[in-house]
Amino acid sequence: MNLKLCSIALSSITCLLSACGGGNYQDESMSKAGSPPPAPAPQLSIANEDRLSGNYLHTLALSTDGNVYAWGYNYEGQLGNNALGYSTIPVQVKGLSAIAAVKTGEHHSVALHNDGSLWAWGSNANGQLGMSQVMATRVPMRLTGISSVKAVAAGQNHTVALKTNGTVWGWGRTATSYTNLPKEINVSNVKALATGADFTVVLKNDGTVWAWGVNDYGQLGNGTYNNSSVPVQVSGLTNVKAVASGQSHTLALLNDGTVKAWGRNSAGQLGNGSLRTNNIPKFVSGLTGVKAISAGAYNSMALNVDGNVSAWGANAQGQLGNGSYHMESTPVRVMTVVDAVSISTGTAFGSVIQRDGQALTFGVNATGQLGNNLAINSTKPVRVVGLSGVNTLNLGSAPH
C-alpha cells in the first residue's frame, strides 16, 4: 500500500507515466523548472525497519546516518530533490537529517523525524501532505499540526500517523472522508498501521485488527461489502503480529508464522489458489514460518525465517521476481534470493534486502523504479545502484 499505488500490477504504462497535473509548487527557487539527472548517489548504509519504502513508481531509502535518498517517478516532486523528472538512480532528498522512518504514497512522500515530527513532500492535491498552504512541494516541509509521532503510513491520497499515546490521526482524501489537516480518528491502543487505496487498517495491542474506509471488495474484512467511516473489527482475527495492505486487499501475519488475507483477489493476490474475492480472512496456501509480509496493488510477498522470499498475484511486469510474466494464485519463490532480511512491494515492482546489505529489485522499470540506472523491466532481481549495507526494505502501501 504501500501507496495509493497506480496498482501494483499496473494496468497500463500510460497510467504509470501520466502526471497528476500541476499546482503551486514550493521549492528552494520557487521555480517550476526541472533539473538534469544528478550524479549517482554515494554508497548508502541502511538499517532497521521502515528504512526503505516504495509506492506507486518511486522509492525512498533511509541511510543509517539519517539522510534520505530517492529514485523513480518524480513528476509531482515526490523525490524531494527540488527537481521534476524521474531518476533511475538514488538521489538525496534535500534538507532532511535524523530521520527514523520513510513512507511513500502514490504521488507524495513522508518522513518521520527522530523527534516525532513529520515531514512531507510531493503532491498535496488531495490534502495528503497535511498542510493547506501549498498544492505541491518538491522539497520536504514540516507538518505543524501533529507531533509525538512514532509510526506513519501513506496511502494513495491519504496519510495516517500513530502517536506515542496510541492515538491515530489521518488526513487527505479517501472515498469516505477528506481533511487537509491532521484529525484524530476514533480508535485507540494501536501499535501498527497499514494503508490501502481508500482504506486504513490498524493492529491493536491485543492482537486484533480493525479497518475503515472503502469496502467494495471486502477489504475491511468484516464479512460485508459496506463502506465504513469508523473502525470496524476484522472478523475472526486474533494473535496478529503484523499487517500489510495493497490496493484493495490486506495481509495479516499471525504469531504462529502463518498468513491470512482478505479483499480483492482478481489476480490471485490473496494467495489461496482462487480468484474469488473474500470479505473475511482466509489462509494463504502453503505458508509457514513467515516473519514479514508486504502487499502491493495486486500482488503480495512473504519473507520466511530461513531467508527465502515468496510472492504471488499479478505478474504482468515481472513483479513476482520468478523469471516469468505469469500470474500466480499461490506463493512462488523469488529467484536468486536465499538470505533476505526484508521485503517490500510497490506498484508492479518488488524489493528485497539481503543479509549482505544489497538491495535487489524486480518488475516494472518504466520510470527508473528499480534504481539500476536503466529503464527496462526485469523479471529477476537486479541490484540497486549505490545502495549497500541495507537491512530493511519497505516499499510502503500499495493503492490505486
Distance CA 323, CA 271 (A): 19
Residue 298's pLDDT band (cuts 50, 70, 90): very high
Question: What's the average model confidence in pLDDT over 112-116?
Answer: 97
Q: What is the distance in angstroms between the CA of the first residue and the CA of the last residue of the chain?
A: 9
Position 77 in a domain: yes
Q: Is residue 395 part of a domain?
A: no
**Considering only CA atoms, which of 199, 234, 102, 100 is closest in space to residue 90?**
102
Q: Does the pLDDT at position 18 exceed 90?
A: no
Distance, CA of 40 to CA of 385 (rounded, Å): 8
Is residue 2 situated within a structural domain? no
Residues 243, 249: Cα–Cα separation, whole Å: 11
257 domain-assigned: yes
Which of 89-103, 322-336, 343-357 ranks highest by mean pLDDT? 322-336
Q: What is the CA radius of gyration of the chain?
A: 18
Cell numbers placing 112: 518521520
pLDDT at 367 over 70: yes
Distances (CA, A) of 163 to 48, 152, 316: 20, 9, 38
pTM of the model: 0.84
CA–CA gap between residue 193 and residue 343 (Å, rounded): 17
Q: What domain count does the chain have?
A: 1
What does the pLDDT look like over 240-283, one tens digit per residue?
999 999 999 999 999 999 999 999 999 999 999 999 999 999 99
Cross-strand bridge partners of residue 159: 154, 171
Q: pLDDT-derived band of residue 157, with 50, 70 and 90 as boundaries?
A: very high
In a domain, 56, yes or no: yes
pLDDT in tens, 71-90: 999 999 999 999 999 999 99
With respect to residue 4, please indicate whether it lies within any of the assigned structural domains: no
Q: Give ∠ CA 124-142-134 in degrees, rounded to 5.
A: 30
> 14: helix, coil or strand?
helix
Read off the CATH number of the domain in which 273 is found.
2.130.10.30
Strand (E) or helix (H) holding 16: helix 13-17
Q: Does any domain span residue 254?
A: yes
Q: Is residue 5 domain-resident?
A: no
Spatial distance between the Cα atoms of 106 and 124, rounded to a whole number of angstroms = 11
Q: Which domain holds residue 116?
A: 13-26+39-388
Q: What does each C-alpha distance from 81 to 105, 177, 299 come to in angstroms? A: 17, 31, 30
* 138 vs 358: CA distance, rounded Å: 28
